[in-house]
Amino acid sequence: MLASDAEFMAEAYRLAEKSFSEGGLPIGSVLVRDGKIIGGGHNQRIQRGSPILHGEMDCIENAGRQSTYRDTTIYTTLSPCMMCSGTIVQFKIPRVVVGENVNFGGNEDFLRSQGVEVVVLNDPKCAALMRRYIELHPSEWGEDIAET
């Protein structure tokens, strides 16, 4: 873990809280290059009625076109699903920092098998916010992970 990881995860968490306050899934993400955030987003499946606007997808979309992602790190409050992991691999993002993987064990092994460095912070705030959402909105959570 780098010293800056906590700072950037705090911003991803702020975006997760924003989504939660809008009634959406509390998953936030930021994309960082050279110590600066170049994009941020949060899960917008509920708010925008989109099946694919997960936190990481919204973040990458908001970063806009990049000539390369090979010098970036993506931060996400929840372990990435296969769709988001595939996008990370597709764009050759070399490093993923995950807030928590207790509520959803994503695809850390897949990412590592593709040469991606994965750091799991086990952040209790990220886990608690996601757990709260799951308790309040179990059907929306099930829909998000395709288990309804």
Alpha-helical segments (H) within 44-147: 45-48, 55-63, 82-90, 108-113, 124-136, 138-144
56 is catalytic: yes
| E strand or H helix that includes residue 75 | strand 72-78
Cα–Cα distance measured from residue 98 to residue 14, given in angstroms and rounded to the nearest whole number: 14
**Residue among 22, 56, 117, 147 flagged as catalytic:** 56
Name the DSSP letter for residue 6.
Answer: H
Contacts 24+ apart (CB under 8 A), 3-7: 4/32, 4/35, 5/75, 5/97, 5/119, 5/121, 6/121
Catalytic positions are 56
